[in-house]
Structure formats: C-alpha cells, structure tokens
A = this chain, B = another copy of it.
Amino acid sequence: MTPDEFRRNGHEMIDLIAHYLESIEDRRIVPEIEPGDVRAMLPEHPPSEPEAWDAVIADVDRVVLPGITHWQHPNWFAYFPANTTYASILGELLSAGLGIQGMSWVTSPACTEIETLMLDWMQELMGLPEQFRSTSEHGGGVIQGSASEAVLVAILAARWRATAGAVNADGDTAKLTAYCTSQAHSSIEKGLRIAGIGTDRTRIVDHDEGFEMRPQALARAISADLDAGLIPFFVCTTHGTTSSMAFDPTDHVAEICAANDVWLHVDGAMCGVAALAPEYRWVNDGIDRSDSYATNPHKWMGVNFDCTLMWTADRSALLGALSILPEYLRSAAAESGAAIDYRDWQIPLGRRFRALKLWFTIRLDGIASVQERIRRDVALTQELAAEIAADARFEIVAPHPLNLVCLRVVGDDSLTEQLIDRINAAGQAHVTRTTLDGRTVMRVSIGARTTERRHVEALWQTISAT
C-alpha cells in the first residue's frame, strides 16, 4: 500500500467506522451463528496474490460485521460498559501510526512521560490519594493492558515484599497465603495461581448479605494462618464486584492489613472511574490506605480497550519484583523516579503508546461529558430499579447504588433463566446471567455511550411482558 493509497483507504475506513457506530442500533446485537460459521465464509488457505482494498472491505461487511457481538450497541446491558469514544479511536490510530516502543524511557521518551502525566491527571480528576502521584516519594502509576495484569503485578510486588526479595532467587511461595471473597474477579485466582499461590492457600473470606467482605472473617483467617506458621501476604478488596457491584469495606480491611503487614490491592476495574463525578468519589473510599489500586477507563469512561490504570504507593516493590536487570545495573534514575522504565512495572517487555487515547479523550471530549454520562446511567438504572421494585413478580437481590441492577423472577430459578434466554434470543438487547448465593440472577448493566432512556424503557417492557 502506497502512502496515497493509505490516505484514500484510511479515509474510507474512518467513514466505515463512523457509519458502523451511527447505524449500530439496526443490527441484531448477537450474531445467530454456530462455531465454525465464520471460518466457513473465508478461504481455508491464504491468498497467493495481493487482493484489492474493495475485496477486503467487502469481507468486513459480509463476514466481520455480521460475525461479531456488538458491544457498542445502545441495548448493551451485558457484562460491563465497554465504550470506545471517537476521540480514543483516533488516539489508538495515532499510536499505531507512530509505531514506537515504550518499554523504557529512552526507547521513546514522550511515550513514558505523557503516560506518567496522564496518571497524575487522572489522580487529580478522580481525587485519588496523593501517595499515588508520580511526584510522591514512593508511589506512581502505569497503564496496564487489563485489570488482570494489574492484579498479577500487585501479587508479584506483594510476594517480593513479603519475602524481602528472596522469592526472585528461591521461588519459595510455600508459606504465602492470600485473601478475597467469592465475589472477587476470577483474575485474582488466576493471578495467584500464576504466581505459585494455589487454591489451597487462597482463602475465600465470608461476605455479608450485600456481598461485601466481612472484615472480622478476614481478621480470623489471617490470624489462623499466622498461628499455623504461614505468611499472609496479599488481600484483594473489590470496589464494584462483577456479579453485583458490591463494595468491600476497604477502610476496615486496610486496618487489618496494616496490622499484619499484608499488601492490600483494591480492584476498582468496573466502576472506579465513577469518581470522575465528585458525588461518586465514595466508590474509592479507603484506598488511601491501600498499596495498589486499578480501574479501567476502557469500561465506563469510554477509552477504548486496552487501558487499565494502576497506581501503587510502593513502586520499589514493583521494580523489585519485575525488573530483570541484575542488582548492579538497576538504574538510580529509575528508582528515584527521574526516568521511569515502564517495562519494570509490567509483565511483558514491549508496550504501545496507550496514553495517547486517554490524552485525546480528556482533552477533546472533556471530563464534563464523562460526568454527564455517568450521572445519566446511574439515573436510568435507578428508574429501572424502581419499576422492578414496584412489580411483585420480580425481586432485586443486591444493592444497586450505581449502574448495575441484579434481579430475578420470584420463584424457581428456571423462571429467571427463561427470562434471560427470551431477551437474549430475540437479539434486540443483551443481558448477562450470574449466580448470587446459589440463585440464578439477571444482571442489567447500563452504560453504553449511546444508551438513552428509551432503550431502558424498552428493556423494561420486554422484562415485564413475562
């Protein structure tokens, strides 16, 4: 492709995306296909000659668009909001076009420095603790690819600190124990497993009827492990659990962690960015006493995936766990914070210029537009919850302070299963099933960029036509 062909094709691709997003409501939200159907529409063998742009675009229309689940659809009530704003798409495009590597400061200084600045901007915009700023004595922030990677990094930093670095040489994790509730995201168990903390040493701490961790249960579990000669090293609390958007009491948990020298990670993946609206800053209450915290602008905020923000109050533990240089080569500049080598804050070596999409979103769309959407989504969720609560055929099964409501049909689980199946099979809207306290529950997550009141009203019509 020549530069001029790139210009022409690029303009066409921009127009294709604009048209796709403008007309997305006309599409069935989930494709009606079986495994293998997409592949069967494409040649089994690669082409021997280059193909025309028009042929490829025709296949985007014929195969790709009808073959994907439309996460940007206004009737997207499933999983979590996964918004991608126009501004962030152009930030991602610029990153791809520049084609640089941000593994260390020196391999592309602006990539590192704009990322650091964006973390500091977001700290300020969300009202996060000062000890997370890059300009603080021990803290700092980094963009990870996902909250799963953020929690793994936190686990590794905790493991390093709890063993005074010995784990890097001896790999000995035999006495380390970790703690979360059954409501924590699956990536906690996965990260612990990767780090050599099997399920035998992962304690599932009791939660209360609101699905929040019981601090006294945590204290008892830690105490029992200490008595057994084990080393409690990592606690994860969740602010906005995946199943029901429950908030663990991090303020109480932090006291227990501090008393026992345990690393506390707060997983605010799904809704931490709600703090961009001052009245929702409570979503992060207590994290001023945590060791690390992560939230996903690629969910509710609208910066396209992947963009997880992770802050720590103890960057030296991240460097200790993840720097692969021998001790005598560790950079004084990097440890002091003068120059950051983000390769030592993450699992992989290579990294894209992901800060651009966050920079573009904050500058071009402005934070007021994000606040407006957050307020709209919470209001629509509360309106829907009021309708559900007023209808005796349904019950709401968890607190719903933000943009997620969990409901079920009164009676046998099969009634709720049927309702979910009916909504999803029709293809007009999409919701997710979960299990809470052993019962089948329907989650309604409201937060797609294009969702308006009429979409939520239509969903309620569908639900209540049961």
A residues in contact (CB < 8 Å) with B: 1-7, 9-11, 13-18, 20-22, 31, 33, 35-39, 42, 44-51, 53, 55-56, 60, 63-64, 67-72, 79, 82-90, 92-94, 96-101, 105-111, 113-114, 116-117, 120-121, 124-125, 145-149, 152, 156, 167-174, 186-187, 189-190, 193-201, 298, 304-306, 322, 324, 333, 338-339, 347-350, 352-353, 356, 359-360, 362-369
Q: Which residue of B lies closest to A121 (CB)?
A: B46
Chain B residues with Cβ below 8 Å from A98 are 17, 20, 64, 68, 72
Q: Which residue of B lies closest to A7 (CB)?
A: B18
Contact at B364–A110, with CB atoms within 8 Å?
no
Given contacts A98-B20, A99-B84, contact A38 B113 (CB under 8 A): yes
Contact at A110–B64, with CB atoms within 8 Å?
yes
Separation of A306 and B347 alpha carbons in the complex (Å) = 14
Q: Which residue of B lies closest to A42 (CB)?
A: B117
Chain B residues with Cβ below 8 Å from A83 are 99
Contact at B13–A93, with CB atoms within 8 Å?
yes
Separation of A45 and B123 alpha carbons in the complex (Å) = 10
Contact at B67–A363, with CB atoms within 8 Å?
no
Separation of A138 and B452 alpha carbons in the complex (Å) = 47
Of B35, B47, B111, B172, which is within 8 A of A366 by CB?
B47
A-B contact pairs, 8 of them (CB 8 A): A20-B97, A35-B333, A36-B113, A39-B114, A69-B107, A71-B107, A171-B200, A173-B173
Of B92, B96, B117, B359, which is within 8 A of A88 by CB?
B96
Chain B residues with Cβ below 8 Å from A339 are 35
Separation of A10 and B13 alpha carbons in the complex (Å) = 9
CB of A127 to closest CB in B, whole Å = 12
Query: Which of A7, A21, A350 has most B Cβ within 10 Å?
Result: A350
Separation of A292 and B190 alpha carbons in the complex (Å) = 21
Separation of A434 and B99 alpha carbons in the complex (Å) = 24
Q: Which residue of B lies closest to A35 (CB)?
A: B339
Contact at A96–B100, with CB atoms within 8 Å?
no
18 extra A-B contacts, CB within 8 A, seeds A1-B87, A16-B97: A5-B86, A13-B97, A17-B98, A20-B97, A35-B109, A36-B338, A46-B125, A49-B366, A50-B368, A64-B114, A64-B356, A69-B106, A84-B99, A145-B348, A167-B193, A189-B324, A196-B196, A298-B350
CB of A349 to closest CB in B, whole Å = 5
Query: Which of A72, A83, A113, A125 has most B Cβ within 10 Å?
Result: A113
Contact at B113–A67, with CB atoms within 8 Å?
yes
Chain B residues with Cβ below 8 Å from A298 are 350
Contact at B169–A349, with CB atoms within 8 Å?
no
Chain B residues with Cβ below 8 Å from A13 are 14, 90, 93-94, 97
Contact at A124–B93, with CB atoms within 8 Å?
no
Contact at A171–B168, with CB atoms within 8 Å?
no
CB of A240 to closest CB in B, whole Å = 16
Contact at A10–B14, with CB atoms within 8 Å?
yes
Separation of A69 and B39 alpha carbons in the complex (Å) = 40
Q: Which residue of B lies closest to A66 (CB)?
A: B110
Chain B residues with Cβ below 8 Å from A10 are 10-11, 14, 17-18, 86, 89-90, 93
Chain B residues with Cβ below 8 Å from A187 are 324, 348-349
Separation of A173 and B174 alpha carbons in the complex (Å) = 9
Closest 3 interchain pairs by CB? A196-B196, A67-B110, A17-B97
Chain B residues with Cβ below 8 Å from A92 are 92-93, 96
Of B21, B38, B146, B200, which is within 8 A of A109 by CB?
B38
CB of A106 to closest CB in B, whole Å = 7
Contact at B364–A1, with CB atoms within 8 Å?
yes
Chain B residues with Cβ below 8 Å from A71 are 99-101, 107-108
Of B18, B96, B368, which is within 8 A of A89 by CB?
B96
Given contacts A60-B94, A89-B97, A109-B38, contact A14 B11 (CB under 8 A): yes
Contact at B186–A305, with CB atoms within 8 Å?
no
Contact at B108–A69, with CB atoms within 8 Å?
yes
Contact at B18–A3, with CB atoms within 8 Å?
yes
Contact at A94–B7, with CB atoms within 8 Å?
no
Separation of A6 and B107 alpha carbons in the complex (Å) = 31
